[in-house]
Structure 1
Amino acid sequence: MKFEKLAGKKVLVTGGAGFIGSNLCEALLHLHVKVTCLDNFSTGHYRNLNSIKNKDGFTLITGDIRNLETCHQACKDQDYVLHEAALGSVPRSINDPIATNEVNTSGFLNMLVAARDAGVKRLVYAASSSTYGDSKTLPKVEHSIGNPLSPYAVTKLVNELYADVFQRAYGLDTIGLRYFNVFGRKQDPNGPYAAVIPKFVIQLMNHKSPVINGDGTYSRDFTYIDNVIQMNLLALTTDRRDAINQVFNTAVGERTTLLELTQMLKRHLTMYDASIGDVEIKHGPNREGDIPHSLASIEKAREKLGYQPQFSIEAGISEAVKWYSKNYTGLN
């Protein structure tokens, strides 16, 4: 897939030192885009920028989206914005709803205002599958959501409402991408709010038993990072007006239980260390705010953006395990 029309354009990536943001920065630079990364490094890492920090066309701004002046500075002269900055994690939001709201809601509003004032052509933002809340319908379709089950989900729903208002009131083109359990290279396996795949990979690499929340029958639409990059590039470059001011599921359209995921991880990791196959899997209580099942319909993205996911869960796991084996101790 080619996105030559982006060459020479200026794109601001907020949260650009984070897992998704740094991968987007790298992909854009490969397309000869002039990239500005804005990050306060509260959850992002300088190491994520090591491969690109000295490249022509890359600029780093250390700052916080909770500061409107910083947002104005970052948006100046930009053609597009990819807004990835956020405090993720449902459990984190339950433990600290105020901080989650300040970053995810107030910070997002600051970015909308700054993008509007700078005359940015389009703002593509990270929405979330958590917006579906207690909706039991499968697969999840964009026009039908339930009640939010966590402060994090509330903030992501409010983002969509604000984006819609800014398009209608001010003419700022926006597209929201509802991410479904993104994983892949550069995703941090450490910390109390680490995502399940990197956390389990490192535990298994170190022969420690992963703990599944619940009986393992909860399921997710795990989505490899390269599929997410494709969706962001498609959202930046689409000429279809019926795709503007819309939200799109960003997923694969495959459902995997946590038990299936864990067995898949063990299977791929045993290629590097056969003894990992003997590591015991343990179970704990379900997490508060977790939805039982998540599966996306990607038909809207296929139709309006031309999205074709390149990586299944199995192919993505293979790539992710390969990356962790090279970048973290525990495997040869």
Structure 2
Amino acid sequence: MGYSNLKFDKDTVFLVTGGAGFIGSNLCEAILKLGYKVKCLDNLSTGKQENVDLFISNPNYTFIKGDITNLDTCMEACKGVDYVLNQAAWGSVPRSIEMPLYYEEVNIRGTLNMMEAARQNGVKKFVYASSSSVYGDHPVLPKVEGQEGNLLSPYALTKRVDEEYGKLYYKLYGLDTYGMRYFNVFGKRQDPNGAYAAVIPKFLKQLMADEAPTINGDGKQSRDFTYVENVVEANLKACLAPHEAGGQAFNIAYGGREYLIDIYHDMCNTLGKDIEPNFGPDRAGDIKHSNADITKAKTLLGYDPDYDFKTGLQLAIEWYKENL
């Protein structure tokens, strides 16, 4: 269970791109706790300096301010690295609809730069962030790898392309690539601010300020909300996965299904709030329901998530109470 007992060579070096962001900083923290070296590459466009400052005094931590869209930066960052955990990307489906060219540059070209740099530097494993958005409009639940529908946003397209490059780099160059199809990750250090903030931290911040959040749609949409520690486990176990599991994508979730309106009421109850939400229009590019079959990740990666939704939500609320 979990990842605390995972063993790597004592001199192992990890590179976490996007390491100043939400998922990336949690990965850096976990690697440092395990006693290994970590390089963090981030341009701080969406990542936060405060997430760098948390670890900067640790001798096993190195911060590189740089951009994955620059191949030379990627090449330099990959020197002496054993495992790359590529989290650097721009998220948000609605924002990608507004900025498709930028998403292509960062999420596709940037990821390709990192794969090429990893290949040329002899990196052992290249683990990268994909997304449940690649399932598009495919109606069947739970979502199973290999059963994808029509894509609904530029963001989803960038992640699908990343997966295709992952397959090619595995087949053509022998680089072990592992795509992590994240399902609605939440937890500590997730940014609650801005128009494109994720729903859980955004709602928590508003409720704690006695404000009424706006739910897009009727609130009856469902998601497989996944606590960030489960994602950390998946990334680290992918680094130890067999070569035969490379070149593939994996659903990374808990395997549950939560309805947004129920989550909202759970938050209100936990925080002791009695606030009626507002309801707004559906968001363009969003899917109605999402729920993951995690059999493949369990079988090929040994993924065995510890944190169910309720446990994760409680931990997240405790963190936001202390840090907002």
TM range (shorter): over 0.9
Q: Identity of aligned pairs, percent? A: 53
> Could you tell me how far 1:265 is from its partner in structure 2?
1.3
CA distance in structure 2 between the aligned counterparts of 1:6 and 1:46, rounded to whole angstroms: 30
Q: Secondary structure at the match of 2:220?
A: coil
Q: Which residue of 278, 282, 285 maps to 1:282?
A: 278
Count of residues in correspondence between the two structures: 321
CA distance in structure 1 between the aligned counterparts of 2:144 and 2:270, rounded to whole angstroms: 32
Q: Secondary structure at the match of 1:303?
A: helix
Which aligned pairs between 1:294-313 and structure 2 lie closer than 5 A? 294-313=290-309
- Greater than 4 Å deviation, 4+ residue runs: none
Tell me the residue number matched to 2:271. 269
CA distance in structure 2 between the aligned counterparts of 1:49 and 1:38, rounded to whole angstroms: 10
Q: TM-score, normalised by structure 2?
A: 0.97
Residue identity matched to 1:213: N
Q: Secondary structure at the match of 2:8?
A: helix
CA distance in structure 2 between the aligned counterparts of 1:20 and 1:57, rounded to whole angstroms: 19
CA distance in structure 1 between the aligned counterparts of 2:83 and 2:305, rounded to whole angstroms: 23
CA distance in structure 2 between the aligned counterparts of 1:67 and 1:304, rounded to whole angstroms: 33
Contact 1:65 1:111 in 2 (8 A): yes
Contact 2:225 2:254 in 1 (8 A): yes
> Could you tell me how far 1:7 is from its partner in structure 2?
3.5
Residue identity matched to 1:161: E
Q: TM-score, normalised by structure 1?
A: 0.95
CA distance in structure 2 between the aligned counterparts of 1:207 and 1:279, rounded to whole angstroms: 8
Which aligned pairs between 1:164-203 and structure 2 lie closer than 5 A? 164-203=167-206
Q: Secondary structure at the match of 2:45?
A: coil
**Per-residue Cα deviation, 1:46-70 (whole angstroms, up to 9, x for no partner):** 1112321110111000000000100
Which aligned pairs between 1:108-187 and structure 2 lie closer than 5 A? 108-187=111-190
Residue 105 (str. 1) matches residue 108 (str. 2): yes
Contact 2:166 2:248 in 1 (8 A): no
> Could you tell me how far 1:8 is from its partner in structure 2?
2.3
CA distance in structure 2 between the aligned counterparts of 1:4 and 1:169, rounded to whole angstroms: 29
Which aligned pairs between 1:81-100 and structure 2 lie closer than 5 A? 81-100=84-103
Residue identity matched to 2:141: L
Tell me the residue number matched to 1:50. 53
Tell me, which stretches of 5 or more residues in structure 2 are unaligned? Answer: none
Tell me the residue number matched to 1:251. 253
CA distance in structure 2 between the aligned counterparts of 1:24 and 1:69, rounded to whole angstroms: 24
Contact 2:253 2:294 in 1 (8 A): yes
Tell me, which stretches of 5 or more residues in structure 1 are unaligned? Answer: 271-275
Tell me the residue number matched to 2:236. 233
**Per-residue Cα deviation, 1:102-159 (whole angstroms, up to 9, x for no partner):** 1000101111111111111110000100000010010000111111100000000000
Q: What RMSD in Å do the two structures reach over aligned CA positions?
A: 0.9
